[in-house]
Structure 1
Amino acid sequence: MKLGILGGTFNPIHLAHLRIAEEVREARALDRVLFIPAAVPPHKPLVGDIPFAQRLAMVEAAIADQPAFAASDIENRRPGKSYSVHTLEALRQEYPGAEFFFIIGLDSFRDLSTWKEYQRLFELTHLVVAARPGVAEGDPKSLLPIAIMKDFCYNRASNSLEHHSGNSIFFVEETLLDISSTRIRRMVAEGRSIRYLVPAPVLDYIDRHGLYRGQERF
């Protein structure tokens, strides 16, 4: 099985998340994309105190009509911060024999050296970097942290960086949808419509549970 992994706070999940998951699924011929809400995000505080259960419920509502998408509560099943390296280790036990494709945005990829045990990620999974059109042209190795450049070689035919472990970094040019969870939370707090920014079931969930209303911080 070729399994895509898309993590995030999903606070809330929106159409840009879904679109990049669909584009990577198609580009890498994935059998399934697993959406994994972070329980305790290690890189930024969780805004709004929205419980994990509600963020997971919104993900499940958003992907219900796409059989190739699934949601996982794996990061809520262990204590401590939701480090990606630990999640991937657990997933390899949960899905033995699967080939993993970890999906991240270009902004996160540029900050990879700040991640916990980031060097080990390349031993556990392929990385698929969602880049804006034209960004990955030239020498993609220049995007890597200097400390690990020697561990990769560039494959021009596939426009990928191959790690000595056998895993690769692939660059996928995404359809740029200028949507952010921060903006959505602000709009809800201001009483503005978020229709067509989130899937209809997510909009309904936010309305029914009164999420993000009257928040002072976004």
Structure 2
Amino acid sequence: MAISITHRPEFAPAALRDICALLLTAYGPQGWWPAETPFEVMIGAILTQNTAWANVERAIENLKARGALAAETILGLTPAVLAELIRPAGYFNVKAQRLREFCLFYQASGGWDGLAGLPTSTLRQRLLSIKGIGPETADDILLYAFARPVFVIDAYTRRIFTRLALIRGDEPYETLRLAFESALGPDVGLYQEYHALLVEHAKQVCGARPRCSGCVLNGQCTLPVSVLT
């Protein structure tokens, strides 16, 4: 069924929560983000750009083995050494530069204490001012490292909600973020769980080539019957 949305989607809060409940029943609590410290969350959010999480885990383990999972130790590495440590995450030369720029920003801002005291809107703008950090990465950091009520929009979210005919799929990032936040209200725990469940559902079932048999969202999906069966 074709849909036409020319403005910010208006989600029914109960419908969004029902989708989350179905996913939670199917996959269980996800407990995201998989990291030991907020700083590790930040590094992981940068490294996960354009790569699978398993590759990020290997890169982070390399940093841990080198004792280099802190801003000062990362900056103490030469660019070549840092790039080699994070090689599993792909685009390692570019990401090494992004990590260095983030760590310089982190130190100049007073570290965790300096950033944690900022209002969410201010902190978000400062993160977005760092070269290589876009809205999705900034919001990953805000939601999971700083526990701020900012809903993360990623490709999986767009794919799933387009197939549910709740969005077009090509709306601007901010349009979708604000639509989810308006419908769900400021709830950090819900945002974290919802985002993680959408990622899990996209990986297990709702991929580019969907495996629709037994999907818990089949009753709401708009994919052709030939695909669903």
TM-score over 0.5 for the pair:
no
TM-score (norm 2): 0.29
Point out which structure has higher relative CO (alpha carbons under 8 A, 6+ apart). 2
TM-score (norm 1): 0.30
Structure ranking higher in strand proportion: 1
Structure ranking higher in helix proportion: 2
> Radius of gyration: which is bigger?
2
